[in-house]
Structure 1
Amino acid sequence: MPEPAVTLSGGVVVSSTRREEVSSRIRRALLTGELRPGQRIKEVHLAEALGVSRPTLRESLQQLVHEGALVQVPYKGIHVAQPTAEELRDVAEVRMPLETMAALRLARDPHGPAMDGVREALAVHLAAIGTGDALQAHVTHIGLHKAIWDLADSPTLRKIWPLVGSQVHVALTVDQAVRHDPERDALLHRRLVRVIEEGDEAAITAEVEEHIRRSVDEVLRRLT
């Protein structure tokens, strides 16, 4: 089967932030399905599509491998990450208790600077959703969940995020690619933050679990 065309619109990259610009355009291609899960990255074709040199492309590809969006397979090159159903469920099972812990810690001071930071991250995410830019919505979606972890005032959670964050990134990329529903996205994240603000421990625990589990269940239904 021939490889699908990857348009990656935006013209030749000429800015001083070339690597990040290339990385952003590849992320957009992942979210729109131009680059499919499991697909092998062909450097020559991709460099031509992006209008960049292969060394520049390789730097961006390695950045995305580090993030978990791409995987480097020994002797087979770089491929788009293709998490299995079991892996997606595993990520959800790991996230639920840790994100619940973060949310409960934030709820101790609903009017404090930490919750202000979470509200700000929510506002940034909602603004990105409003622009209709899928890539910005994806980036701010991850940013909101990272803010919940970072602002919970737990050194342990901050240390764990880099380990879990790459897998969360992949899971949310799959979610965005198969289920693009901005209104639902906004509704769910407003509700998540509101429940944390209200401070009821049982409600927070249930909401975080529902938020994460429902997302992975819907993704798996669409993938099967």
Structure 2
Amino acid sequence: MVERRHSNLAIVAKSLDIQAAEAIREQILSGGFPPGSRLLEIPLSEELNLSRGTIRSALQQLTYEGLVVQIPYKGCAVLELSSQDAWELYTLRSALEGLAAKLAAAAMTADKAEILNSSLKQLIEATKSDRRGKVADADFALHQAIVQLSEHQRLQQQYQIVGQQIRLYIASCNTLIPDVEEIIEQHRLLIEAICSGNTAIAERIAKEHNADGEELIKHLEKVEIKNF
């Protein structure tokens, strides 16, 4: 009986860690905790009504995901994307998503096309709201669907590792696109290319779709020069 009670306690503690990480993550990705914001254990533990140990574990998970950075002698803060960060995510995303689109196109079926078109519909619905965070979530979910349909397990694993950073990157790119119709059109072209079954076109469109990253890099470079 004692072992069983300890086992249950461990499961509950783990569950709270996950819930805390999810709550903080959503605040980061929605802009509730802006880039550079300090993430202090005591205020977070009071706000979420959780122990400091649980908050500490949640912040460690978010640090692993790359959304939070640890600053010596100061604690944790929300990641501020630098131009170097944006370049690395831009080039990595192009490689991963280009391959995913190529493989998804090669294995395209009517059922898979339905999944992709459903993801596109969800993105279109998201653009009808005034919440850019919701649009970024639907945008990222669509790209996750493409990666899943690639049926390449190691590609999926690598994408998952950097997934939350890519989600933040997508949100940052989308802020530079004032017209949501442009976001819809970009993704419509991508889905059509993959559903066509033409692997070369699908890969090319996927990489071209990521070209917004170049604008983000230039924008961050200007900000860094201004703040230097």
Q: TM-score range by the shorter chain?
A: 0.7 to 0.9
Q: 2:197 & 2:51 partners in 1: Cα distance?
A: 51
Displacement of 1:106 in angstroms is 1.6
Q: Is the 8 A contact 1:68 1:170 kept in 2?
A: no
Task: Answer yes or no: is the 8 Å Cα contact 2:193–2:205 preserved in 1.
Answer: yes
C-alpha spacing 1:181/1:54, structure 2 compared with 1 (3 Å): farther
> In structure 2, how many angstroms separate the alpha carbons of the residues matched to 1:191 and 1:209?
12
* 1:89-145 Cα distance to aligned partner (Å, 9 max, x none): 122212223212211222124433333222222222222222333333222221111
Matched, 1:148 2:128: no
Decide which structure has greater helix share.
2
Query: Which residue of the partner structure matches residue 80 of structure 1?
Result: 78
Superposed displacement of residue 182, structure 1: 2.5
The secondary structure found in structure 1 opposite 2:33 is: coil
Task: Tell me by how many angstroms 1:207 deviates.
Answer: 1.2
Q: Distance in 2 between matches of 1:147 and 1:173?
A: 17
Query: Which of 108, 112, 121 is the equivalent residue of 1:123?
Result: 121
Identity of aligned residues (%): 26
The partner residue of 1:67 within 58, 65, 72 is: 65
Residue 162 of structure 2 aligns to a residue whose secondary structure is: helix
**What 5-or-longer segments of structure 2 have no aligned partner?**
1-14, 223-228
Scaled by the length of structure 2, the TM-score of the pair is 0.73
Residue 32 and residue 105 in structure 1: after superposition, are their counterparts in 2 closer, same or farther (change >3 A)? closer
Q: Which amino acid aligns with 1:172?
A: I
Unaligned stretches of 5+ residues in structure 1: 1-16
Partner of 1:38: 36
Counterpart Cα distance in 2 of 1:155 and 1:53: 36
Q: Could you tell me which residue of structure 1 aligns to residue 98 of structure 2?
A: 100
Determine which of 173, 176, 189 is the counterpart of 1:175.
173
Is 2:215 the counterpart of 1:218? yes
- Once residues 180 and 69 of structure 1 are traced to their aligned partners in structure 2, the CA distance between those partners, rounded to angstroms, is 25
Shift in Å, 1:34: 4.9
CA RMSD of aligned residues (A): 3.0
CA contact (8 A) 1:103 1:196 kept: yes
